[in-house]
Amino acid sequence: MSGFLTGWLSVEAPVLLVVLPLVMAAICAVMPKDKIAWLLAFITTLICAVLAFDIVLQTRGEQVLSYALGGWEPPFGIEYRIDGLNAPVALLISAIAVICTLYALCSTDAEIEPKKRAPFYAAFLVAFAGLLGMVVTGDAFNVFVFLEVSSIATYVLVGMGASRDRRALNSAYNYLILGSIGATFFVIGVGFLYMETGTLNMADMADKLAVMGDVSRVSQVAFAFIVVGLGLKLAMFPLHLWLPGAYAYSPTAITAFLAATATKAALYLLFRFVFTVFDPSLEFIGATLTWLLAVLGVIGMFVASLQAIFQSDARRVLAFSSVAQVGYMLLGVGMGTALGLSAGYVHLINHGIIKGALFLALGAFWYRYGIVRVSDFKGLGKIMPWTMSAFTIAALALIGVPGTAGFISKFQLLDAAAQNGWWWAVGAIVVTSILAVIYMGRMLEAAWLQPAPEVNGKPVEKREAPLPMLVGMWVLAIAAIVFGVVPSWPVELANGAAQVMLGGGL
């Protein structure tokens, strides 16, 4: 199926997704005024979102886009290869980047020092380009390069939250150490694969591994290193220790962007390597899916949900919630069935939308009233009704209330687990959803059912978030409803991704 773009722009779309933000990042870094840097960043992310949407249309119906960099045909040159598995993730990253950049127009004025704002947008575009590069490339070592490009920029962005909270520096350092360990494990795994197959092109690598079968010990070691490395990057329990601090103390726009995209890009890579580079029918991979990923996913669902209940900082509540939601996705991966993979993939998309809306609303609460603690949510529904309404919709979607996107993905996971005979997983999904009612419900109860705070005997003045902040969070909140009422498009994309994963090869 063809997209809506034509000619040169459509042909070059895969490489423009990466090159454009990298070039514009360099320009933003030297801009004398931060508003000009913001405008350049916003236009760049908007163009990338249009390109990504066109690519999604082009890859529907099992179509594959292949772009050979420098005219060197694969497997000898670097190839950007996009299909039904990675195109939706590229669109999610691009769309969230547009919303977070619009949001940053106001939030950076309160959170970033004036002299650091232009470099902030430059670092943001570098992180954005790195995530897109991880997703679209078909070269295993190129994945590592973009993984590091994105990670290094992200460490800087997290550290910039020190203007608001000095704990951001410690969080950035922890993220740096654990992120570097994860990247090291990943590149060691890629090295083993290169030693065994003599190629770095993932499609060619898959073909050669298929010939070797289950007898290659080197490929088994490579698989173990890659799973651990990506597990650190996607915050798989118990490798998630970097995430709560990074989400809690980053600048708000960066927290929302990371929560909605970074772990999703890493999870995509796990999908890619497990199901299209390696053969998931092999015994050692099947055992890893069932006894490692699925089990750790369920444990993470319980432990992180319980931790979220006892957090006093609302940002950390949502951060631990993210670890629990990653567990849902890993449970879908661990099933290894078409329905399970589709359910995990739908949850990947839906959770990016939901958690982005939640963190954007939470940032608006801080922007207006300095609110970060759950106990300070009292009466927020009365003094910031539009912002709190968006937060409420996203919270209900996170819980999995019918009529929201979260219900669709959780129901699919329940169906997949039941068809697989995993009744223990069905119970885990139900119980952890009840735990989500507790940790999200206490914020909603305080906001809507408790009286607004008073100053000198008078209620606090009603003040909404600025329009650029409201627009982004409401776009995501509305999407959480639309994809719950009419879920056909994300489900179709997820089914296409599952077909790629189980279809044998890239």
Tokens 């015994």 correspond to what residue? 283
Residue 320 lies in a domain: yes
Which tens digit of pLDDT belongs to each residue from 442-499? 999 988 888 877 666 666 778 888 899 999 999 999 999 999 999 989 999 999 989 8
Q: What is the DSSP letter of 391?
A: H
Tokens of 148: 């590091």
Cβ contacts of 12 within 8 Å, gap of 6 or more: 67
- pLDDT, one tens digit per residue, over 295-351 is 999 999 999 999 999 998 899 999 999 999 999 999 988 888 889 999 999 999 999
pLDDT band at 281 (very low <50, low <70, confident <90, very high): confident
**Cα three-residue angle 39-40-42, rounded to 5 degrees:** 65
pLDDT digit string (tens) for 356-412? 999 999 999 998 888 888 888 888 888 889 999 999 999 999 999 999 999 999 999
pLDDT digits (tens, 9 = 90+) for 15-51: 999 999 999 999 998 888 889 999 999 999 999 999 9
Residues 6+ apart with CB under 8 A from 163: 111, 112, 113, 116
> For the chain, what is the mean pLDDT?
89
- Sort 148 into a burial class: Cβ within 10 Å, 0-12 / 13-18 / 19+: middle
Residue 235 inside a domain? The answer is no
By three-state DSSP, how is residue 455 classified?
strand
**pLDDT given for residue 68 in this prediction:** 86
* Residues comprising the chain, all counted: 506
What DSSP element (H or E) covers 82? Answer: strand 79-82
Q: Closest by alpha carbon to 52, among 100, 99, 121, 4?
A: 4
How far is it, in rounded angstroms, from Cα 409 to Cα 357?
17
Q: What is the pLDDT of residue 506?
A: 34
Q: Examine residue 488 and state whether it is found in any structural domain, yes or no.
A: yes
What total of structural domains would you count in the chain? 1
Dist CA 319 CA 209 (whole Å): 38
pTM recorded for the entire structure? 0.93
For residue 246, the one-letter residue type is: A
Asked whether residue 443 is domain-assigned, the answer is yes
Mean pLDDT in residue range 57-64: 83
Helices marked H in 198-313: 202-212, 217-233, 243-249, 252-272, 283-288, 295-309
Domain assignment of residue 366, yes or no: yes
With b for 16 or more beta-carbon neighbours within 10 A and e for fewer, the 48-59 pattern comes to: bbbbbbbbbbbb
The whole-angstrom separation of Cα 279 and Cα 330 is: 18
Task: Specify the pLDDT at position 455.
Answer: 62
Residue 173 has pLDDT above 60, yes or no: yes
Instruction: Give me the pLDDT at residue 458, please.
Output: 66
Evaluate whether 253 touches 101 at the Cβ level (below 8 Å).
Answer: yes
pLDDT tens column, 216-246: 788 889 999 999 999 998 888 888 888 888 8
Least confident of 13-22, 179-188, 280-289: 280-289
Residue 426, in any domain of the structure: yes
| Domain that includes residue 393, residue range | 288-506
At 456 the pLDDT is 61
Do the domain assignments include residue 249?
no
User: Residue 69, Cβ neighbours under 10 Å: how many?
Assistant: 17
Answer whether residue 47 is part of any domain.
no
